[in-house]
Chain A
Amino acid sequence: MATTTISSGNQRSDLFDRRPLTFDPSLKRNRINRVLTTVAGIFGAIAVLPLFLVLLYVLFQGGRLLSPTLFTQLPPPPGLEGGGIGNAVIGTILVTLIASAIAIPIGVGGGIYLNEYSARGWFSQFVSFGNDILAGVPSIITGVFVYGIVVSTRLFFNQSFSAVAGGIALAVLMLPTVIKTTDEGLKLVPQELRWGSYGIGASKFVTVMRITLPAAFTPIATGVVLAIARAAGETAPLIFTALFSPFWPEGIFNPIATMSVLIFNFSIMPYEAQNELAWAASFVLVVMILAANLFARWISKVSRA
């Protein structure tokens, strides 16, 4: 830094800045500092702005349609007023349950294998790598995939589009998250717990089931709840697997309505009533998903305390 020296013959003194050590806000570096901090503040404000706007509109537009009939009636035929989204609410719950029933056992099992059994060899590295790649596969591709193996081949009882097909598509989507959180959760379990269990004569199976898994319950539960919440809001894999149905669900081997597909279908219709139902479905979906997110957060907070 350039200095104006007022040294009295000492040659080394001009190496040092003789200004006082107090903070001087008018310095260039401090002014740049303030400008950049302001810019970061503005960026942060822009980043949270969409959340507020989306929530505001969903709560306002959807919330005013909230009534008991919303959950007990079917959507109206195009052009008519009223109706509800009862079938779609049931459908979303059903499809998400099917997906969870497939993805959670397989994902937790796979995570157990990765962390407890494989000695970090080539196989576990390959599976971890594949898991990351699978997590990056676009959700619409999983829809195409399930269409290819389940829907177009009529795999189940000669049915094409079905709730099960939708559930499988969502399960493919959930699987990487569940495996990852299980693997990471088990990594946090202290090795001493396992040694202690072996030390008193427990088998590996008993150790995993009674010691390791319960110790890692919180991170796994958090990850699983987040995965379920994400799956419940997914649309792309369902458009041509679960399809849509304007009627009440007729078993899990038939096409089924879900809230996310309902929002997609009804938002592009030129009818007021349908658009309003899309907003109402958004409200229900967003409240469910945000509640699940806050619940997951609460689980991890409670157990950490």
Chain B
Amino acid sequence: MPTDSFSPTQADAYTLRRRPPSEKLLDTGFRQLTLVMASMVAVVLISIFLVVFTGAREAIGEFGLSFLTTSGWDAVNQQYGAFVAIYGTLVTSILSLMVAVPLGVGTAILITEDVLPRAIRNAVGLMVELLAAIPSVVLGLWAIFVMEPAIRPALNLLHAWFGWSPFFDTTAQGPGMAPAILILVVMVLPIITAISRDALNQVPIELRQGAYGVGTTRWGAIFSVILPAAISAITGGVMLALGRAMGETMAVTMIIGNAINFNTSLLAPGNTIASMLANQFGEADGMQVSALMYAAVILMILTFTVNVLAQWIVRRLSLRY
């Protein structure tokens, strides 16, 4: 603050300093400015919905709800159906979570409970966080050239054993749903681990002490006291990871094979909404753009629902202890 209003005489030191109009203007101006900046979130969010929805209007009028259940994607005859992509989005994200949740929560327990020396636990935590930092396009590159050739024999073994089931009735010949699911596991694992770790760390120490005090073992305490206390945040984190898995684009696009035709087999190429957008949006025109926007609307509704549900679960399920 400028000190020019002070003078050496005693009396002046105690006179109230009036705030000059310029200072008041600056104050209110700054407040309004930050208000506008905070509103940008709402503006951007609403415009995203508006832009995508207006773009999709033409296709929504043309195809209606049958867009969700038909599986043609024919740019010549202008016939579009997103069933393959919607099916692929749901199947890859849900199956990847079924693998990632036990792994992630198990790792989080390993990091938070005193099983290992603190230095090792911190190192594991750091490594999982660094895994989250690796760009998805780099994971995709790795999946194409390293992971997929490496796991192909294992996938073909699955085909040899379970070839009778519709989920494994093709041989693995390269890109497909199964490698896409595995790379999604790698991508959502850090999210689940980080959120579960925070949730487990927030369980009051008294709860653990109480559990051990009545004579339970470590895993008795984990299963009957610590996990139930942290379950709301963990479930919320799992839902967030589900949303992330549904919208994940690059790694999946590079490894899923981008099929147009429907196939139940997890070893065959598939497609997701996000990878369909990544592949076609740049070169599409006319009705195809609108159809892609329609698919984007569906993806947004899916992730929006999952995210809202996640927040609701965290608030609703939180245990009072």
Contact = CB atoms under 8 A, between A and B. Distances in A.
B35 A39 contact: no
A33 B219 contact: yes
A110 interface: yes
Interface string A91-115: 0000000000000011101111110
A113 B35 contact: yes
A33 B115 CA distance: 11
Interface stretch (A4-12, A71-79, A142-150): A142-150
Contacts of A64: none
Contacts of A50: 131, 186, 189
A48 interface: yes
Nearest to A41: B110
Given A43-B107, A263-B138, A264-B140, A141 B115 contact: no
Interface stretch (A215-223, A245-253, A281-289): A281-289
Nearest to B17: A201
Contacts of A279: 141
A63 to B, nearest CB: 14
Interface string A119-141: 00000101101111110111111
B135 A233 contact: yes
Interface string B280-317: 01100000000011001001100110111011000000
Name the prevailing secondary structure of the B interface residues. Answer: helix
Instruction: Kindly name the residue among A203, A260, A267 whose own CB sees the greatest number of chain B CB atoms within 10 A.
Output: A267
Interface stretch (B37-45, B76-84, B204-212): B37-45
B231 interface: no
Contacts of A188: none
Say whether chain A's binding surface is mostly helix, strand, loop, or mixed.
Answer: helix
B24 to A, nearest CB: 8
B240 interface: yes
A140 B249 contact: yes
A267 B254 contact: yes
Interface string B13-54: 000010100011011001101111111111011011001101
B250 A286 contact: no
Contacts of B31: 113, 117, 204
A219 B24 CA distance: 30
A289 B133 contact: yes
A134 B206 CA distance: 37
Contacts of B54: 148
B55 interface: yes
Q: Which residue, A51, A204, A278, has most C-beta atoms of chain B within 10 A?
A: A51
B27 A204 contact: yes
A68 interface: no
Contacts of B247: 136-141
Contacts of A129: 311
Given A140-B277, A141-B300, A236 B250 contact: yes
A69 B102 CA distance: 46
A256 to B, nearest CB: 15
Given A175-B41, A230-B133, 12 more contacts: A47-B189, A58-B142, A106-B37, A133-B308, A136-B303, A139-B247, A140-B277, A145-B48, A176-B41, A179-B41, A263-B138, A267-B144
Shortest beta-carbon contacts, A-B, top 8: A138-B247, A233-B135, A43-B106, A109-B37, A113-B34, A136-B307, A110-B38, A236-B249
